[in-house]
Amino acid sequence: MKFTLEATAPGSNARAATIQTDHGVIETPIFMPVGTAGTVKGVHMHELREDIGAQIILGNTYHLYLRPGMDIIHRAGGLHKFNGWERPILTDSGGFQVFSLSANRKLTEEGAKFRSHIDGSLHLFTPENVVDIQRTIGSDIMMALDECTPGTADRSYARRSLDLTKRWLERGWKHYKETEPLYGHYQSYFPIVQGCTYADMRREAAEHVASLGADGHAIGGLAVGEPAEVMYDMIEVVNEVLPADKPRYLMGVGTPVNILEAIDRGVDMMDCVMPTRNGRNGMLFTPEGTMNMRNLKWADDFSPLQADGPALVDRVYSKAYVRHLFIANELLAMQIASIHNLAFYLWLVKEARRHIIAGDFKQWKTEMVEKLSRRL
């Protein structure tokens, strides 16, 4: 992996860069659509490439490990071959999914024991075998196994959790260095900064992961219950420590406003299920604010979803028609909304990049945050 910094915005830590991988170049800042089980729900690969403009997508170790399983993925030649996506892929280690199964998992020094949400079978993730699983998946960027600490955790819990994550990281990093890719392309391994909402722990964790010399670094354990301002504070603390010549990935965040605030604080990469999940429930994001497509006000609005929108669906379908599809519970409604929202998110980070390079990001961001906060 090669990270090339191209520009930094005046009065901001926002930056534009490129990340070179064996499956292509990623222009940052970038939003990464979430393809949990090897697919972005309701969206074809050609739509991701051509209509949405995705440069990299996510897969999830937990879900792919359970179904279809590593034997099928390996026999297919890795996830790129299995799902037909020839651009970069990042995989989460499954730590967040195990965290969300709090009633069905147990954390030990060895790793995370959990029961499958599919059939209740018992499994174990260790720092070492999640490297092996991600080697089998063949992602371009692999994540370290960590414990995602709840945002409301007390200091004692956060301390124990961070210490465990650090010990797991040492083991995972060692195993990564001792193993090789399976499909002929290079795989990076990103450590994850935890530490809950405690600035000293966040700083300590950032120093620890930076000392390893990995290709990039992730910031985890945010947007899990803490106030947005606390999240922004933690991003600032961490990014003061993480090296400027490596990409910074903020995991699982967030709203369009969250994304702009994170970019302003020096984040390069982001992902979130919000554009697709909220889209399937009728919420559409636009440059002027958010629309609830189930509202009666759109029933006879025959204007396009977004006349100058980046996706074809924006210009082809009217607000009235999309509302009708949602009210009638048609599957097409969810597909149109997913494509629209993902295209908007990719447009937003592309515009952020353009304004960073132009030197007026700070002013543009202030104006956009005000617009994006509106309900239409």
Q: Are 317 and 305 in contact (CB under 8 A)?
A: yes
Active site residue 22: no
Query: What's the rounded Cα separation, in Å, for the pair 307 and 275?
Result: 19
Query: What's the rounded Cα separation, in Å, for the pair 132 and 180?
Result: 9
How many CB atoms are located within 10 Å of the residue 24 CB?
Answer: 13
Apex 12 CA angle, 11 and 17, nearest 5 = 125
Tell me which of 51, 140, 146, 271 is the catalytic residue: 271
3-state secondary structure of 5: strand
> CA nearest 210: which of 265, 247, 158?
247
How many CB atoms are located within 10 Å of the residue 51 CB?
Answer: 20
Query: What's the rounded Cα separation, in Å, for the pair 246 and 83?
Result: 29
Tell me which of 51, 92, 264, 314 is the catalytic residue: 92
Residue 116 tokens, joined: 């499958």
CB under 8 Å to 212, separation ≥6 — which residues?
169, 173, 191
Active site residue 92: yes
φ, ψ for residue 148, nearest 5 deg: -85, 105
Burial class (CB in 10 A: 0-12, 13-18, 19+), 229: exposed
3-state secondary structure of 271: strand
Q: Is the dihedral of CA 238, 240, 246, 250 positive or negative?
A: positive
Query: What's the rounded Cα separation, in Å, for the pair 190 and 183?
Result: 19
**Residues designated catalytic:** 92, 271
